[in-house]
């Protein structure tokens, strides 16, 4: 342990440094190589392997079981725990209205009896904002503590996947050309270099998360790159 090095890190590291130190288990890039893994998140508690936490990542999903702006948790680990609780407790329409999680900061999570193609679906995807403000292509101001619980069809290849860096050509384009022209009232800054969010999926035992880039990117990514790229 080098106390001087630790002090320098603590004084000069920003919130983006914390986000990059998540535990990253069992996640493969499109080259099939494992990414570096860490045992805990310095801003919160350790993240279990089954959370498959990934920094600078956001996943789509349908349905969304809670409205993240009013469902606020203390850290990424709690967001994952809430998703696990929903998967465990909200197993049928008969439990609709049952409280499955009380967040540490605000809100409450109740089972909604969500159906997809006639079958009950539960949470297998979580998305957490761990920065003071998190960028997103929408009309809302997203801030620290938001936790979104969602469902994806294939948790071992979750899509749409919005992870890593935004393409340089997208970041440097005029705001009106962004995939969604986010107003300056919502986001007065330039588009960040990397995605602001932290996300993960609940996989079956032994499951491994794979991303195919750019195939798994959101529609807005493909449309922008086709028109203004290459990305």
Strand-pair partners of 58: 162
pLDDT value, residue 12: 30
Query: Would you write out the chain's pLDDT as a tens digit for each of its 231 residues?
Result: 333 333 333 333 333 333 333 333 344 444 333 333 333 344 578 899 999 999 999 999 999 999 999 999 999 999 999 999 999 999 999 999 999 999 999 999 999 988 887 889 999 999 999 999 999 999 999 999 999 999 999 999 999 999 999 999 999 999 999 999 899 999 999 999 999 999 999 998 888 999 999 999 999 999 999 999 999
On the question of a cis peptide bond just before residue 114, with omega within 30 degrees of 0, the verdict is no
CB 149 within 8 A of CB 87: no
- pTM over 0.85, yes/no: no
What is the Cα Rg of the chain in Å? 18
């Amino acid at each position: 342990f080098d106390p001087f090095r630790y002090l320098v890190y603590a004084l000069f590291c920003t919130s983006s440094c914390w986000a990059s130190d998540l535990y990253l288990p069992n996640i493969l890039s499109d080259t099939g190589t494992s990414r570096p893994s860490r045992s805990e998140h310095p801003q919160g508690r350790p993240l279990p392997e089954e959370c498959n936490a990934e920094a600078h990542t956001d996943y789509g999903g349908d349905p969304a079981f809670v409205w993240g702006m009013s469902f606020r948790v203390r850290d990424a680990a709690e967001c994952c725990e809430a998703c696990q609780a929903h998967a465990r407790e909200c197993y049928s329409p008969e439990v609709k209205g049952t409280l499955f999680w009380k967040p540490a900061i605000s809100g409450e999570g109740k089972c909604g009896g969500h159906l997809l193609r006639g079958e009950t679906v539960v949470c297998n995807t979580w998305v957490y904002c761990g920065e003071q403000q998190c960028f997103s292509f929408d009309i809302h101001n997203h801030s620290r503590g938001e936790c979104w619980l969602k469902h994806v069809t294939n948790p071992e290849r979750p899509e749409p996947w919005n992870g890593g860096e935004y393409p340089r050509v997208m970041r440097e384009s005029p705001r009106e050309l962004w995939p969604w022209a986010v107003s300056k009232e919502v986001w007065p800054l330039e588009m960040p270099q990397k995605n602001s969010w932290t996300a993960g999926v609940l996989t079956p035992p032994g499951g491994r998360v794979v991303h195919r880039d750019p195939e798994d990117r959101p529609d807005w990514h493909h449309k922008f790159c086709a028109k203004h790229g290459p990305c």
